[in-house]
Amino acid sequence: MKLKNYIAGQWVEGNGEGIKLHNAVNGELVAISDTQGIDFEQALHYGRTVGYQNLASMSFYDRGQMLKKVALYLLERKKKYYQLSYQTGATHIDSWVDIEGGFGTFFTYSGLAKRMLPNTPFWVDGETQKISANGTHLGTHILTPCEGVSVQINAYNFPVWGMLEKLATSLLAGVPSIVKPSPYSSYLTNEVFKDMIESGFIPDGALQLVCGEPGNILDFVQDGDSVVFTGSAKTGRMLKSLPQIAGQAVRFNMEADSLNCSILGLDAKVGTPEFDLFIKEVRNEMTTKAGQKCTAIRRIIVPENLVGDVQNALSKALDKVTIGSPLDRATRMGAIVGKEQVEVLKDKVNILKSETELIYDGQHELIGADFEKGAFFTPKLFYNDKPFEKNISHDVEAFGPVSTIMPYKDADEAAALAKRGKGSLVGSIVSHDEKFVAETSWKMASQHGRIFVLNRDNAKESTGHGSPLPTLMHGGPGRAGGGEEMGGLDGLHFFLQKTAIQGSPDILTAITKVYTEGAEKKYTDKHPFQYYFEEVEVGTALETAGRTVTDADIVNFSNVSWDHFYAHTDATSLNGTIFDQKVAHGYFILSAAAGLFVSGKKGPVIANYGLEDCAFFKPVYAGDTITVYLTAKEKINRGVKGRNIPSGVVKWLVEVVNQRDEVVCVATILTLVAKKSPFIKMDKKKIQKIINGLSENTKPQWGKMTPQHMVEHLEMTLKYSVGQPEAEKCYTEEEHLEKYQDSLYKHHKMPKEFNAPFLPADGSLPELRHKNLDKAKDAFMEALQEYIVYYKENPFAEHLNFVFGMLNKEMWELLHRKHFTHHFEQFGLI
């Protein structure tokens, strides 16, 4: 079976013989990868035009939501990915790290986008800089997607995570990608990629796939494009030096294999928790993915007096590792990805033998497999007795279950040996001695992308030496490639162009969509807190009345807050201070400011969400009068989970001035502001007016209901909501009820043509209960009045609904609003 490539929105096969891909466990043919005949120039052009236009025009928030939807879609289909992953030689645990670890990276970046990125296609980076005396000329920076395509070249060891951890940042940044997995495990990448496209959540041109050799694709990269490479340091350096990449200033990020180390602390003697943790961690890192990890431990650095103890304990631990077919759940280590890689691994082991001693050579029997058919390789452990003289352990990486023990005397030697790897993705220290850890870690940090410290205090929650995390940087200096991936939002910067913007406050506000101090304010008669999230405009402002601070205010706030700091309470203690008399508390000024600018009337503002950048500039004394200027500074869209009202965050600039117009306090407060509901309110007069527009001749826009059937249906729903009568049962399964009830809080409309489970199975309409439509309308309005009165008198009542289960007052109101809107739209009444 030939794997298809996804180019310019089409699935196409190569026209050559291709590369045969075999099952790593039994040697059977799985697929053929072939890229011969692919027009790579066309692929790059399609990505730069169609892909860039579709992706870069989306906001960061929307791109984050896209990642979440894709991850959920893939998660539902994960079972088939595991079956393919087993054929690469990966065990169930190996596959979990690769498959669901990849999905988890999408989820993480979706969450970061929701919490921290703007609902715009660009991103304002950093604070506004004042570059003129009077503040009429300012500067800031914005980040925008690079106008190009990211060519993603991946290694064979993580066919899913390797693709998704790069796409999480490139897609969120708004840059289209061409994914080029290693051929040897590309059949798994292909299956996941195919589902990503079929999900319908990825815009056209945003993703393309090349399953096989990369051909001449890098001959066509140009300024604006980028190359993101994971693989051997040798190959990475060769690609980086290509004339087209160097000559066109193409961005290049490399994450290469590295000789990572783990250091056992001087304190971690036999019998300590740290010694046991060290043995377990090294064993895991040697055998997970059969040692085929760029973060695996290749150098085991131990105190010279513990070499024998470590060798014995680690040998026993490796003896217990069961090797064989991943289909057998007893298997703890699977196969190397292919026979070709086994031969390369054997060559590297022979090179290590030339200078170091092989002290452990696994003689394992296989479970459900054999060495002849499968690509299996048993663990090997070497000993380098003179690690400062014999450099082979620091230069040669055997990419499999192979590692080398080497001794050290003190913290300086441990750090020096760690750095002899000439640049590593990760180094770990297992110790409970804080002084040793501190001294060693900062000395080795310059040659490491990540330092992982393990001891008894964090072992239970530790993520492990070899696990890169989305919120932390993955990469390393020197041999490790000098690149950076992930690292939270920092990972997006590689795909973004940073541009300085200079202009007046009004211009900067217009460009950035963030209010800049000095820009024009938009004063309105309506209080800003009475606007829904969609209605708030950046620059919307309020000037409050003044409030004169009294000595009683200062005394009372001291008593209420228990803040009896001398400057607020003792006028005789002010000599040598910056205060002339008793000063009002800073937090009183902020509280008083809130009292001036807050609207007491219930409205769209749900809650105070936080406080940022609060500073006090001038003291406020009894007799001073403060006034507040409140200005909408920035809007942040946000998703909601569970039973929360759809809302966004509005940042407000709070400027407090005294009677001399001197600024005494500046702060940014965050409010949670409700979004405007698309559903009709439970307002009797409005509903009566709407229902008056319904006649016997009104035709439904969907469904079979007549006008009278619709009105009687709404009447009965109102009656069920007050228990007259009680619904006899809920037709929704218990396990789905929470999800159904949560949906009431979302601004999603009810589906059309919904087959209600309580209606006749044959689709027939129930008999009419009222003489005519007018009588039905009257009965409906009576039921509405009864519903309103009932919940005023019984605010904690709950009654059963046929679909949504037991509902309280709030839930019934949300349901009625959606339900009324649904049927009023059905008959074109709204």
- 304 forms bridges with which residues in the sheet? none
DSSP assignment of 574-633, as one string?
Answer: -TTSS-SS-B--HHHHHHHHHHHH---S--SEEEEEEEEEEEE-S--BTT-EEEEEEEEE
Q: Which of 466, 472, 477 is nearest to 165 (CA)?
A: 472
Reply yes or no on whether 255 is catalytic.
Answer: yes
Interior angle at CA 627, CA 530 and CA 135, nearest 5: 95
Q: What is the 3-state secondary structure (H, E, C) of 539-575?
A: CEEEECCCEECCHHHHHHHHHHHCCCCHHHHCHHHCC
What SS3 state is found at 294? Answer: coil
What Cα–Cα distance (Å) separates residue 556 from each residue in 428, 561, 656?
55, 8, 21
3-state secondary structure of 715: helix
Residue 145 identity (one-letter amino acid): P
- ∠ CA 93-95-97, rounded to 5°: 75
Using DSSP, state whether 714 is helix, strand or coil: helix
Cα separations in angstroms, 683 against 17, 679, 820, 825: 71, 12, 11, 17
What is the distance between the alpha carbons of residues 180 and 208, in angstroms, rounded to a whole number?
Answer: 9
CA atoms of 44 and 149, how far apart (whole Å):
7
Contact 512, 124 (CB under 8 A): yes
Q: How far is CA 243 from the centre of its chain?
A: 36
User: Could you tell me where the DSSP H helices lie in 356-404?
Assistant: 392-395
Structure-block tokens of residue 319: 């003896």
Which residues is 547 bridged to in the sheet?
Answer: 626
Strands (E) located in 73-217: 123-130, 138-145, 150-153, 177-180, 207-209
Q: Please name every residue paired with 663 in a beta bridge, in sequence order, or none if there are none.
A: 657
Beta-carbon-side half-sphere exposure of residue 599 (alpha carbons within 13 Å): 17
Quickly tell me which residue has 């979004």 as its tokens: 675
Q: Which residues contact 793 (CB under 8 A, 6 or more apart)?
A: none
Return d(Cα 674, Cα 667) in angstroms, integer. 22
Among residues 146, 211, 261, 294, the one annotated as catalytic is: 294
336-353: string of b/e by CB count within 10 Å (b at 16+)? Answer: bbbeebbeebeebbeebe
d(CA 178, CA 168): 13
Query: Angle, to 10 degrees, between the axis of helix 92-116 and the axis of helix 161-173?
Result: 10
- State whether residue 739 is helix, strand or coil: helix
Closest listed residue to residue 360, CA positions, set 450, 462, 268, 283: 283
Tokens 């201070």 found at? 577
Q: How far apart are CA 358 and CA 344, in angstroms?
A: 18
Write the CB contacts of 402 (distance below 8 Å, at least 6 apart in sequence): 286, 291, 298, 345, 348, 349, 352, 379, 380, 381, 382
C-beta separation of 211 from 188 below 8 A: no
DSSP state of 48: I
Q: Where are the alpha helices (DSSP H) in 156-306?
A: 161-173, 186-198, 233-240, 243-247, 273-287
Query: In 10 A of CB 439, how many CB atoms?
Result: 16
Find the catalytic residue in 165, 213, 255, 634.
255
SS3 424: strand
CA angle 486, 488, 492 (to 5 degrees): 65
Residues belonging to the active site: 255, 294
